[in-house]
Amino acid sequence: MFNFSERMRGVHLDHRKRSRMNQTVFMPSPATVEISLSQHIGAPCEPLVAVGDSVFVGQKIADSSAFISAPIHSSVSGRVSGITERLGANGRMTRAIVIESDGLDTPDPSIAPPKVNDQASFLEAVRNSGLVGLGGAGFPTHVKLAAKNINTLYINLAECEPYITTDNREVFEFATDIIDGIRTVLKYTGIPKAVIVIERNKPIAAQILSELCADIETVSIKVIGSRYPKGAEKVLVYEAGGPLIGRGKLPADLGVIILNVSTVSYIAKYLRTGMPLVRRRLTVDGDKIKNPGNFSVAVGTSAGALLDFAGIDSSQINMLLAGGVMMGSCLIDLDTPILKNTNALICLERYASRNKTPCIKCGRCIRVCPIKLMPAAIEKAYDRGDVQELKALDVDLCINCGCCSYSCPAKRDLSHKNQLAKELLKNAK
């Protein structure tokens, strides 16, 4: 009652997982793809091809020598027609390689399953696959897997955002790949055990995976309550009985690694086929969408092309999100290409009102914050530029889940202010 327990709270959201029973639809490669050179957290890649070059499906077209980075591959066969610049969802200009498809989808002849026999060759293979976290954050997977002294691998199957069902579909369609991927990671990294963490609202997925790993001692299933934001790394690990990832700590510092279920499943697929990450599944849904679904899409396909393929009238859409309704970012136009880490396109006709009324000090923002911050106080401190106070209010711990803004009866942009306050604090140091 007094909320003294160290429970990470959050909010109950309407799940709207209508697309979970719809088989993934294969979308043929479009006539043109625009492959962004910034598909992951970390350094953007440099192009390895020039305008006029012919490319195959799976051919490496960009790479970087930076540690936190992953190579990028062509998702179609055809000819490089240009290298453009585009305003990304993060508000920064990013370069992109435009490729005209020849419609044949000819794979790169050099593609073959990688030879993996130890940790070094395994990490090398994961890097060569271009794999990044498919759950949304897009952190290069080989960097995560290179961490030392890990005692538990957590597999994230929380999928706590409304609408999105792509990870759920991965279980329905490729459950054995998931288990294979986990065993492969455990084998080559020497991590002793893995825990698959599932939200309670996916009982069939939990059932399928439980049966598959019943005989595997090193892999267990942990079902947690379905409450947003259970899929946030910090919350997920804590809820599953793992350590608390405190200020400035990476999960690896505390001996844990978290991989999204589709990410680990892809590792198994890559080791089998050698085809780099050039396609991904994403959910297309929204508030007025009559035919939601999951689609296997070539990386670099434009959002508009996918909507057309999905039979969605884009003239009815007022807001288009890459990712979920709680944490996704707004696309600026329909030409924006799909990235490796785009797990959903959410089309909204009705969007949250920005009409704010005065704060009534109701305390809902504190009640729902998984980190137990005081967003209303942070807003006031930010508005008067009080860096000392922002520091005392620990705004740097905010995970940007958006629960405060969601639950505010005065409809104040609390999580937005939190992000601005974090920047202010960072720049003041």
Partner 1 sequence: MQDRFLIVTSSPHIKSSVTTQRIMLDVLIALAPTLAASVWLFGPRTLFVTGISVACCVFFEFISQKLMKRPSTLYDLSAIVTGTLLAFCLPPSIPLWILPIGAFFAIVVVKQIFGGIGQNFANPAITARIVLFLSFAAYCSDWTSPFAWLGKADAVSSATTLVSSETLPPFTDLLFGMRGGCIGETCAITLILGGIYLLARRIISPIIPLSYIASTVLLCFAFGTDPIRTLFGGGLLLGAIFMATDYSTTPVAPLGKLIFGLGCGVITALIRAFGSFPEGVSFAILIMNILTPIIDRTVKTKPIGDDD
Which one of 125-133, 185-193, 354-362, 421-429 is the stretch in contact with partner 1 (CB under 8 A)?
354-362
- What are the Cα distances from residue 416, in Å, to 158, 246, 288, 330? 24, 22, 26, 14
Among residues 93, 104, 362, 428, the one that binds partner 1 under rule CB under 8 A: 362
Compute how many residues bind partner 1; rule: CB under 8 A.
69
For the sheet with 344-348, list strands across it: 25-26, 293-298, 279-286, 344-348, 319-322, 329-330
Among residues 98, 376, 390, 421, the one that binds partner 1 under rule CB under 8 A: 376
Please tell me the number of Cα atoms within 13 Å of 187 on its side-chain side: 14
Beta-bridge partner residues of 87: 93
**Exposed, middle or buried, 46 (CB in 10 Å: 0-12/13-18/19+)?**
middle
Residue written as tokens 């329905």? Answer: 172
* Interface pattern 397-426 for partner 1 (x via CB under 8 A): x--x-x--xxxxxxx-x-xx--x-------
- Region 202-261 residues binding partner 1, contact defined as CB under 8 A: 234, 238, 244-247
- Region 105-134 residues binding partner 1, contact defined as CB under 8 A: none
Please tell me the number of Cα atoms within 13 Å of 1 on its side-chain side: 0
Task: For the CB of residue 158, give the shortest distance to partner 1 in the complex, in Å.
Answer: 17
- Tally Cβ neighbours within 10 Å of residue 96: 23
Cis peptide before 229 (omega within 30 of 0): yes
Residue written as tokens 């059932």? Answer: 207
Among residues 331, 345, 381, 421, the one that binds partner 1 under rule CB under 8 A: 331
Please check whether residue 202 is in contact with residue 156, taking contact to mean a CB–CB distance below 8 angstroms.
Answer: no
| 352 contacts partner 1 (rule: CB under 8 A) | yes
Short-list 145, 134, 130, CA closest to 45: 130
- Region 145-164 residues binding partner 1, contact defined as CB under 8 A: 162
Task: For the CB of residue 372, give the shortest distance to partner 1 in the complex, in Å.
Answer: 5
Among residues 82, 360, 383, 428, the one that binds partner 1 under rule CB under 8 A: 360
Judged by CB, which is closer to partner 1: 183, or 416? 416
Q: Could you tell me the two tokens for 425?
A: 């604090």
Judged by CB, which is closer to partner 1: 213, or 369? 369
Task: For the CB of residue 226, give the shortest distance to partner 1 in the complex, in Å.
Answer: 16
Among residues 361, 384, 426, 429, the one that binds partner 1 under rule CB under 8 A: 361
Q: How big is the chain, counted in residues? A: 429
Judged by CB, which is closer to partner 1: 213, or 310? 310
Residues of this chain that interact with partner 1 (CB under 8 A) are 1-4, 6, 8, 11, 13, 162, 234, 238, 244-247, 315, 317-321, 325-335, 346, 348, 351-354, 357-364, 366, 370-374, 376, 393-394, 397, 400, 402, 405-411, 413, 415-416, 419
